[in-house]
């Protein structure tokens, strides 16, 4: 039964990737069947709601420290939106749910875009990837993941995987500006790996620093979704509230 379930899940992941690919007009991994199969195995191992039936999501993100420092944030909310195949939007909304604008606070929207990547990670099979090393040779396979249009950093990320298809490290760099190395730690629920902690080492022209990202989860309509993400040094706590999943979203949210 487990083998049958695994086969069905991988088939579903590949089908989701094909759906996304057709809508985006490009097949990830340049049609490389070995890379596509490898990434489907990664998605079988690593939990993401997008491969477990999530069709749409809305959530309110809060940052108590920011609300204290910027009183104007108290009258608006940062709202995260996601919809299949992988449409994303972060915007300010008034308390009545209408879209709001606050150009002086737009930098907080970048936090929302970054955090939405943890709330609903893009499945690996849907990403544009290039093999850096052999995926079948002994050792730790590596893949170059190309950035998506919504990524804050428009540079590739190099992921390193263990022998069980688990991504254990990612590296990215913007030449002349910075480099990040993330060590990824997980907990297992129902045989699937749920990202729990990211240990980040950053290097810039000014020197190096270390930070930790911790994820805490809650269950919403059978999906595991972050209730809190803590970024340490300095400490920033993002809270995620008022989740609405699979209730449908107007496409205009993503175009206006």
CB distance 125 to 13 below 8 Å: yes
* Domain that includes residue 89, residue range: 25-254
Q: What percent of the chain has pLDDT over 90?
A: 56
CB distance 91 to 99 below 8 Å: yes
Tell me, yes or no, whether 95 lies in a domain.
yes
Q: What confidence tier does 31 reach under pLDDT thresholds 50, 70, 90?
A: very low
Q: Is the pLDDT of residue 171 over 60?
A: yes
Q: How far is CA 31 from the centre of its chain?
A: 23
Residue at token pair 């079948």: 136
Tell me, yes or no, whether 221 lies in a domain.
yes
What number is the average pLDDT over the span 190-206? 91
* Beta strands 87-94 and 99-100, pairing class: antiparallel
Q: Which pLDDT score is estimated for 24?
A: 42
Q: What confidence tier does 27 reach under pLDDT thresholds 50, 70, 90?
A: very low
Residues near 114 by beta carbon (within 8 Å), at least 6 away in sequence? 152
Tell me, yes or no, whether 183 lies in a domain.
yes
- The two tokens of residue 14 are 């590949």
Query: Phi and psi of 254, rounded to 5°?
Result: -95, -5
Q: Which pLDDT score is estimated for 256?
A: 73
DSSP for 17-56 reads HHHHHHHHT--GGGG-HHHHHHHHHHHHHB--GGGTT--E
Lowest mean pLDDT among 11-20, 122-131, 223-232: 11-20
Q: What confidence tier does 105 reach under pLDDT thresholds 50, 70, 90?
A: confident
Tell me, yes or no, whether 98 lies in a domain.
yes
Tell me, yes or no, whether 204 lies in a domain.
yes
Q: Which pLDDT score is estimated for 5?
A: 52
Q: What confidence tier does 30 reach under pLDDT thresholds 50, 70, 90?
A: very low
Tell me, yes or no, whether 87 lies in a domain.
yes
Tell me, yes or no, whether 2 lies in a domain.
no
Residues near 109 by beta carbon (within 8 Å), at least 6 away in sequence? 78, 90, 91, 92
What SS3 class is residue 105?
helix
pLDDT tens digit sequence for 7-19: 555 555 555 555 5
Asked if omega into 234 is within 30° of 0 (cis), the reply is yes
Residues near 157 by beta carbon (within 8 Å), at least 6 away in sequence? 144, 145, 147, 170, 171, 172
Q: What angle do CA 199, 203, 204 make, to 5 degrees?
A: 145
Tell me, yes or no, whether 20 lies in a domain.
no
* Domains: count for the chain: 1
Q: What's the predicted TM-score (pTM) here?
A: 0.83
Q: Which pLDDT score is estimated for 138?
A: 65
Q: What percent of the chain has pLDDT over 70?
A: 86
Lowest mean pLDDT among 25-39, 111-125, 136-150: 25-39
Q: Is 94 exposed, middle or buried (0-12, 13-18, 19+ CB in 10 A)?
A: exposed
- Considering the chain, what is the average pLDDT of its residues? 85
73 vs 108: CA distance, rounded Å: 10
Q: Which contiguous run of DSSP H or E holds residue 4? A: helix 2-24
Q: Is the pLDDT of residue 107 over 90?
A: no
Q: Is the pLDDT of residue 186 over 60?
A: yes
């Amino acid at each position: 039964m487990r083998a049958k379930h695994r086969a069905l899940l991988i088939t579903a992941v590949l089908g989701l990737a094909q759906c996304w690919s057709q809508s985006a007009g490009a097949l990830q991994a340049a049609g490389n069947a070995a890379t596509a199969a490898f990434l489907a195995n990664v998605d079988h191992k690593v939990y993401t709601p997008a491969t477990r039936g999530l069709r749409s999501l809305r959530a309110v993100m809060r940052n108590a420290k920011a609300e204290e420092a910027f009183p104007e944030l108290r009258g608006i909310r940062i709202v995260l939106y996601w919809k299949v195949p992988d449409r994303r939007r972060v915007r300010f909304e008034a308390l009545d749910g209408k879209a709001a604008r606050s150009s002086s606070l737009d930098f907080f929207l970048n936090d929302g875009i970054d955090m939405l990547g943890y709330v609903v990670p893009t499945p690996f099979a849907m990403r544009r990837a290039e093999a850096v090393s052999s995926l079948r040779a002994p050792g730790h396979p590596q893949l170059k993941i190309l950035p998506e249009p919504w990524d804050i950093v428009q540079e590739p990320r190099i992921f390193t995987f263990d022998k069980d298809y688990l991504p254990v490290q990612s590296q990215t760099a913007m030449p002349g500006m910075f480099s990040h190395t993330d060590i990824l730690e997980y907990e297992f629920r129902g045989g699937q790996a749920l990202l729990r902690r990211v240990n980040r080492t950053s290097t810039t022209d000014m020197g190096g620093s270390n930070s930790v990202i911790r994820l805490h989860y809650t269950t919403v309509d059978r999906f595991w979704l972050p209730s809190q993400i803590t970024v340490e040094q300095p400490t920033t706590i993002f809270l995620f509230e008022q989740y609405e999943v699979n209730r449908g979203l107007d496409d205009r949210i993503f175009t206006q």
